[in-house]
Amino acid sequence: MKNESSNTHVKHEAMLNVLYIGDAVGKAGRSAVTKLVPELRKELSLDAVFLNAENIAHGNGITPQTITEVLEGGVDFCSSGNHIWDNERGIEYLKSSDAKVIRPANFSESDPGVGWAEMVIGEYKILLINLIGEVFMAQEVASPFTTADKILEQINPKDYSAIFVDLHAEATSEKQALAHYLDGRVTAVVGTHTHVPTADLRVLPKGTGLVCDLGYVGARDSVLGFDVAKVLERFLSQTHVSLPPIESGPTLFNSVLFTIDPNTRLLNKIQRIDREIEV
């Protein structure tokens, strides 16, 4: 999806600072995002903020209202994953031409929404691509590797100051493999889905950044943001039990800061930005 188009790449003197936030879960996740992002934008001199939003509507998908809440709280654009189809209002939102959320591009082309978007943020033009993994995932999807190739064949990299790929996947091997496959062609590959922050941040040999999982934004005293008692009931009874997210209390905020040379689209530095806040 192209929001803007350009045939020339603007020469930039300063580095580009992008914060990518892990899966935000329910009300606690949204509250932490809207409280912390305005402060972090100032503290870290952020140019852009992205968020994986597939769990922001009570842990299940998105709604127009929940997306508006995080956008008004300082997020510029959202990616998603397998739970993007969990809420009917969210599915309708994806059909809008001005939706600020993308869904994995390697889902069927007939599915609502789009899998990649370009945006102009200040003086920078950024491409955001969303993919979903095949390993240990329930959905039948096209290869994220060949889908990434098809998208990159449609654009001119020189038009962009940064190109991000959110690979929503279970297997760290798949995330690392895709990052190596795209090394030098994109700015960074960020992993989402597991809600567990990883300590494997690195810049690959050709300049692409990698983190296998950004982590999540949600209740600290939970199981991946969800009610502990209900999760235990599901494990112990081996029956399907609804899993409500914990909506208040100590909340973890996991994210990664990318410092980018916008003239090469490659990474200069990558670091975790993790916080804890009461909501």
pLDDT digits (tens, 9 = 90+) for 52-65: 999 999 999 999 99
Q: Look up the pTM and report it.
A: 0.95
pLDDT at 1: 54
pLDDT in tens, 169-210: 999 999 999 999 999 999 999 999 999 999 999 999 999 999
Whether 24 and 30 have beta carbons less than 8 Å apart is answered as: yes
- Report, as residue numbers or ranges, the catalytic residues: 83
The rounded average pLDDT for each run of 10 residues, N- to C-terminus, in the chain (279 residues) is: 50 91 98 98 98 96 98 98 95 95 96 97 96 93 98 96 98 98 98 98 97 98 97 94 95 98 96 98
Whether 204 and 229 have beta carbons less than 8 Å apart is answered as: no
pLDDT at 82: 95
pLDDT at 86: 94
**How many Å apart are CA 150 and CA 137, to the nearest integer?**
22
pLDDT at 6: 45
**Three-state secondary-structure class, residue 151:** helix
pLDDT at 130: 98
Q: Look at residues 13, 24, 115 and name the one whose alpha carbon lies nearest to residue 71.
A: 24
**How many Å apart are CA 52 and CA 81, to the nearest integer?**
8
What are the tokens at 217? 């934004």
pLDDT at 11: 78
Q: Domain residue spans in the chain? A: 16-220+250-278
**Homologous superfamily of domain range 16-220+250-278:** Metallo-dependent phosphatases (3.60.21.10)
**How many Å apart are CA 255 and CA 273, to the nearest integer?**
5
Buried b (16+ CB within 10 A) or exposed e, 116-146: bbbbebeebbbbbbbbbbbeebeeebbebee
